[in-house]
Amino acid sequence: MSDKPKSQTVLVVGGGIGGISAALEAAECGAEVVLIEKAPTLGGRVAALNRYFPKMCHPTCGLEINYQRIKKNPRIKVFTMAEVSGISGSKGDYTVTVTTTPRHVTPACTACGDCAKVAASEVADPFNYGLAKMKAAYLPHAMAFPMRYVVDPSVVGTPEGQAIKAACKVEAINLDEKPESFALQVGAVIWATGWKPYDPKNLTMYRHGEIADVITNVEMERLASHDGPTKGHILKPSSGEAPKKVALIQCAGSRDLNHLAYCSRICCLASMKHAAYVREQYPEAEVDIYYIDIRAHDKLEAFYQKAKADPGIRWIKSKPSRIEKGASGEPVVCGENTLSREVYANAYDLVVLATGMQASAQPPAGAQLDDYGFVVSEEGVFGAGVATGPLDVSMSVQSATAAALRAVQAVRS
């Protein structure tokens, strides 16, 4: 048979919850799987969340189970700090070029942390969305997979780099590592390239970055996380004090033809979860949720009803028109309450923008995209998780499982 697939390997691009799920489902069906991730660790954006709605469980739990499944499955090969730089061929016979970025740390690393102790310079911490800095020799986060440090390229060739190398007892540091390229022969490709939060700088009327106490929903997750910059205490970035009045603004960028034309689906529930974080930490605090309409998708109406029953949460039906700076630098949310017709200007200690989900920064090379930049599945090339559109974690896993099934069919027929 001439159309028999030449390669039975499935390539999964992206090691977030979608990519991990797709890789596992395909491998557990018996397919050979290569999972590549551009960051130094698997886990993606899920690892940066504090809790999941609606059960408020910790993402680390699900990640841990999946990491165990990966470790136990000999059919999965994982490459971190690797990206697809080119793809050619057709269903059953793709040649994929993968480029790796040097980690400067070999698999001999025991994650003892001695290198971080001697590292002096600090670099931006993407895991904490820039809310904190980290040492130039770092473990990406506590739930890193592989559990291996990374040496930032900024210290290579400096005395600090030499000190870091010298500090390693197991001689796991290799400062001479260079970017590399290799080719893979695969039969099917799953793009699980995920998403990025919509850049709040585009929302000029909400003045994120200009007023310190205006943050985004992903930053809120980090503030609430025990391994975050505030050790899990939700504090005002301006002063480090506990907030008494918190505003959560829905549709910050979503459902807006000037920004993201679609509904990002997860933000309503995420904000209700944030309201729960605040109310749990500060029972006296007041939370106002500004919304156009609440979209508690799927079976999550019950979570909404529970939040509605909380007397500490006020629901204001309005898309705030702007945020102004109050006399002492505090954010003042302005707009029209569409139920009472009242034009309001309410001051808060903390404002959280529910920024939407945007397709990943670099669209996967050669993938077919829809009008919004999300992946459209084709013969042999499939989208999984948020690469295909805004989804919550459970839906992302469902989408990934579906993509794995299609990929397995593609390499077997």
97 is a contact residue toward another protein (CB under 8 A)? no
- The dihedral through the CA atoms of 373, 260, 44, 58 has a sign that is negative
334 is a contact residue toward another protein (CB under 8 A)? yes
Q: Rounded CA gap, 230 and 50, in Å?
A: 13
343 is a contact residue toward another protein (CB under 8 A)? yes
Here's the x/- map for another protein, 13-52, by CB under 8 A: it reads as ----------------------------------------
**Least spacing, CB of residue 343 vs another protein, in Å:** 5
Nearest residue (CB) to another protein, 335 versus 364 = 335
319 is a contact residue toward another protein (CB under 8 A)? yes
Give the binding range for another protein (CB under 8 A) out of 107-115, 190-198, 253-261, 350-358: 253-261
Count how many Cα atoms sit within 13 Å of the Cα of residue 256 in the half-sphere of its side chain. 18
Q: Which two tokens stand for residue 310?
A: 């909380």
Between residue 196 and residue 215, which ones bind another protein under the rule CB under 8 A? 205
Nearest residue (CB) to another protein, 12 versus 248 = 248
**Least spacing, CB of residue 319 vs another protein, in Å:** 4
Q: Rounded CA gap, 41 and 149, in Å?
A: 10
**Least spacing, CB of residue 219 vs another protein, in Å:** 23
User: Prior bond to 54 cis, omega within 30?
Assistant: yes
Q: Rounded CA gap, 81 and 178, in Å?
A: 12
In 220-293, which ranges are E strands? Answer: 245-252, 286-291
Give the binding range for another protein (CB under 8 A) out of 74-82, 135-143, 184-192, 251-259: 251-259
204, 229, 210, 207: which is closest to 218 by C-alpha?
229
Q: Rounded CA gap, 67 and 24, in Å?
A: 10
239 is a contact residue toward another protein (CB under 8 A)? no
Q: Pick from 72, 328, 341, 371: which binds another protein (CB under 8 A)?
A: 341
Find residue 246's DSSP bridge partners.
287, 350
Between residue 278 and residue 297, which ones bind another protein under the rule CB under 8 A? 292
Q: Rounded CA gap, 112 and 139, in Å?
A: 10
Which positions lie near another protein, rule CB under 8 A?
Answer: 205, 251, 255-259, 292, 317-322, 334-338, 341, 343
